[in-house]
Structure 1
């Protein structure tokens, strides 16, 4: 059997696996999943070019433009906690509608923002949506699917999000032109319009989906567990520390540490950096479902340990690329880093959200997902700060060392988590797909 035959068999198995997964989904789950890539297309068209738009098109100073970009993440982090509580009290449905309306208004304002004050209002509104969308949609997903299907859903959803953002980035790269502000106005309005899709789902096919217990009131939701009480659970505490560190040495470096190291130390071209992000998206889209098949039925904490080793290897490869700057080997090393790192990502995204939601009950699901979101955003905010300090001081080897040690520390945290997390939340007790109507593991 030659390599072509093996590839065909792999593709056939992938198709069969996807069909099995799709058939296990309830109607609401299919609605949510079928529109993910389209929803994120608009975001992909603006995400890589927002700071370029603010600085080069609207003429804001680079420091102001950077501060406005940070304001999105800061607002999201501030809103996440109250958003999780509101989700548990009133349901993800209502909170997500408010967030999507804020996103629509924010993107529309940003499309025409010629003054920093207007742009600040716009990015705050966008940050509000970011703060509630993660816990809101995760709670919505968890209320629709359970067990291994839930884990698969989070993985496939992650791949589709990357696909939408990746394709959107390519389209935006060809379309926007700094000499023509109207092109940027157009992509921001498209980003605003893409939020109409999930809004239509929430007002239509998903309007009856509930993420909180029937008959629960404010007192019930509050007594079910405040943030302090939830974080006292050892499993939640270890998982939150793991999430923060994974984001710190992972996604927190994608927009800062990695491109800075690639340009300043490995001395590769901006084209290579852009191609590396394309490799990242391609690996995730192609491998996510295959990885899901491999990890199904396995301890999620063990999967995280494997991911930690893979990420440590990826940073080692990037460090090696810096030893031969401005060379073909350096370019290959930068591209290889992104491919290996993306392989690790396919193991992280299906497992962490699944554990959070299996630990939660219907009355606390919003807050559990808010803790997950806050840990993610905290790592994504502090990661670039540390990278900037180390690389700015010329401590290139220290930067790579911190990333490798941090990756291995994620594996140790996963080992600690394994000792305290309930077997069902660790993917051990799940023996068959669970569809809508089956009680939650929480």
Structure 2
């Protein structure tokens, strides 16, 4: 099937051609026809599947074909609700590209910046509004946004809305939208809370499920390095000596951790910037722009800030810290291997993160290969606990030592012979002793 077969109108077809969209992706092929038919839709698809065009293209066509398209005063007829600033900007940018040969106006509102420019755009008239929940509620309370003319409502990344605590805000917003409307809900995972929401806001929806829930794209190669917490920074710098890693998105658990990684990599003369909630919107957009253009080789991000990052040729994703929510791993590594391209996802796992790692493997339904032979292995041995005061009792305070010999820069991911011996540190009558070998 082609976009022409779907009866997409010429102005949008021309714009899609400009974007080199030659054929619809599976989610576009399955979602566009029912949306054009006016059906509610539940889309279960992981990131990087072409989801934005799957709802943006038919929305544009429906609004253009509607009687009030382009009329004055221009009213908000479609609302797209999304959890993060970056994702709002990405969706807005895509819609503007698809709508370049039409008279449809799209605007994005989000926090972290002055609302004056956003107010001005709203006053000039908007057909499609892309918004984050917090800023939208602020502007609704100030009577700057009127949602009573909404015809098509999109709730994007619903599972992330749940993770970020936006569900109550979503309910406040949906209460202000007309009961009679077309609703499209997209979520990469389907936890029970989202299933309840589906029943409450969708009417006889068409369900589109492209891949098994929480599966990882087949074109992404995944590897894990077992490494002590104190050696993660050295291991990261070592890996980045490999010039074949042309671009790397590094995930940390905290904002402070992201800043620390940037500081250390900068000392190693590796062009690095961070993107997280403490950064101003201008700083975040600059960091993202530098990363996309290749000025910055490494972008360090927290999960909330990275949700909307969409880079066509991202070679590597590196989990400096493993997420404690398994589904987040799928979202993270989905930043690479997009649009059918290949990608590599590398995870660092310390002993305290072993439960997270096991949960991730269980979720994705396969084992992640271990990389052996790197300079910073974590070797776990156990020995019986001696009674206190025993003459033979030994302390295990030995810390990490610098490896005697560093691996070569062209080391293959599966080379080497060092082995990780995963023993549980909490077994009764045993204690943990970490041994580091060069």
TM range (shorter): under 0.3
State the TM-score, normalized to the length of structure 2: 0.23
Q: TM-score, normalised by structure 1?
A: 0.23
Q: Which has the higher helix share?
A: 1
Answer with 1 or 2: which has the greater Rg: 2
